[in-house]
Amino acid sequence: MIRSRLGVYFFVLLLIAITGCRLFKSVGRNPNKAAVTKLEEQPNYKNGSFENLAEQADTTKKRSLLFLRTHKPKTVRPSRPMPWVKTDLNALTPTAPTVVWFGHSSLLIKTLQGNILIDPILNNHAGPIPGVMRAFAGTGHYHADDMPTIDVLLISHDHYDHLDYQTVKKLKSRVKLAVVPLGVGSNLIYWGFNPKKIIELNWDQSTTLPGGLQITATKAQHKSNRTYSSRNKTLWASYVIQSAQYKIFYSGDSGYGPHFKEIGEKYGPFDLALLECGQYSPNYPWTHLWIGQAAQAAVDLNAKMLEPVHWGKFVEASHPWNEAVEKLVPAAGKVNMPLNIPKIGEPYTIGDPPKTAVWWNFR
C-alpha cells in the first residue's frame, strides 16, 4: 500500500516537473473582485454565478467522472486519419464570407470586412494535461502560423475545448481584438492580452469593429468552468455575425431550447448557421444538442443552410465519432434544411453550392 501511494505521488510530481507552470497557467483565472462587482449588476448573474434562462437540474457535478469510467466503444475514434484539405488561408480572397473548419468548433471566417477566428484549438490535445484528450489523427495540419491576421478572436465560453491556452498564446501577436462573453476576458488578461483589446459582452449586446463587422452575443444554454470547484463564474454565449448583407450564426455550446427561435425572430434570417453537433450524453442532457436537434434549431433560427461543428476532433462522449452527422443528414432532410459538411480545411463561400460529398462514412 505504501509503495502504491509513493508511486502515485511520484507520478504527480513527475507530471508537474514535465509540464511545469504551463499546466497551472493554462487553468486561467476567474474574474477578480472588481470585475465581480460589475458582474453582479447583470440580470443573469445571481448568487455568485451566471444562470441560464431556464435552469435545469445539474447532475453533471455528481457524474462528471462517469464519462471517464464509462465503457467507450472503439468507434469513438476514427479508424484512420481524418480527410483534410490544405488551404493557403492568406491567399483566400472571397467576395462573400468564406468559412474554413479545422475540426471540433474551430473556425476561420474570412470576410471583406475582416477575419474572424472562432474558438481555436490548434493543438493535439484539449485540456491542461497533454495526452489525456488526444485529437484525432489528421486534424493537426493547421497551426497558429497558418492563420492570417485576426481582426477578431471570438470565444464562446471558457471550456478547454473552446479556449485553449497554448493556441491563444501563439496567436496573441496577430490578434487585433478579442470578443468574449462576460468574465472570460480575465483568462486572456492573465495570459498577457492587452485589456484594451478585449471586449466582453452579455447576451444581446453588440459591438461594431473598425472594419464594419458587427458581433452580437446571444443566448445559449450551457455552463462554464476550468476547474472542478469553480462553476459558472464566467458567461457562455452564441453569436450573430453580420458582415455587410450577410448574417452568420454560431451556437457555441448549447442545449436545445426556445432561445433558438427567439434569436431567429430577433436577428434572422441567417445565411449560414454553424451549430454544435456531437458530444451529447445522458450525463449532461441539457447542455448540448442531441441527435438531430441541430436541424430543428436551424429551422428555429430561420437559417438558409446548416453546417455542423463540435465534432470530428475529440472524444468527449461515448457515441461513435461520426454518429451525430450520420443522424443529422436524415433529420435535416425531414425539415428541408440544406447541409454543408466540408472536410477539415476545405473552404466554403456563402452562396456557393454546399459541400455534400460523404467523406465521413467510416468507423
Q: Can you give the CATH number for the domain in which 176 is found? A: 3.60.15.10
218 phi/psi in degrees, rounded to 5: -130, 170
Asked, for residue 360, whether it belongs to a domain, the answer is no
14 phi/psi in degrees, rounded to 5: -65, -40
263 CB contacts (<8 Å, ≥6 apart)?
218, 219, 238, 240, 249, 300, 301
- Looking at residue 71, its pLDDT comes to 55
Which residue is it, cell 497554448?
166
> Taken in order 153, 307, 44, 208, is the CA torsion positive or negative?
positive
Whole-number mean pLDDT of the chain? 91
343 CB contacts (<8 Å, ≥6 apart)?
82, 83, 84, 85, 355, 359
Asked, for residue 196, whether it belongs to a domain, the answer is yes
Whole-structure pTM value: 0.91
Neighbours of 198 (CB within 10 A): 20
Question: Are the beta carbons of 165 and 155 closer than 8 angstroms?
Answer: no
- Looking at residue 8, its pLDDT comes to 40
Domain region containing 101? 2-349
pLDDT digits (tens, 9 = 90+) for 183-201: 999 999 999 999 999 999 9
- At position 158, the amino acid (one-letter code) is D
Asked, for residue 221, whether it belongs to a domain, the answer is yes
DSSP state of 132: S
Asked, for residue 355, whether it belongs to a domain, the answer is no
Asked, for residue 79, whether it belongs to a domain, the answer is yes
pLDDT digits (tens, 9 = 90+) for 4-60: 443 443 444 344 444 445 568 999 999 999 999 999 999 999 999 999 987 554 444
Asked, for residue 150, whether it belongs to a domain, the answer is yes
Closest C-alpha among 262, 303, 264, 241 to residue 114: 241
Number of domains in the chain: 1
Asked, for residue 202, whether it belongs to a domain, the answer is yes
Distance CA 340, CA 100 (A): 12
Confidence of residue 63 (pLDDT cuts 50, 70, 90): very low
Closest C-alpha among 279, 291, 345, 353 to residue 317: 279
Asked, for residue 363, whether it belongs to a domain, the answer is no
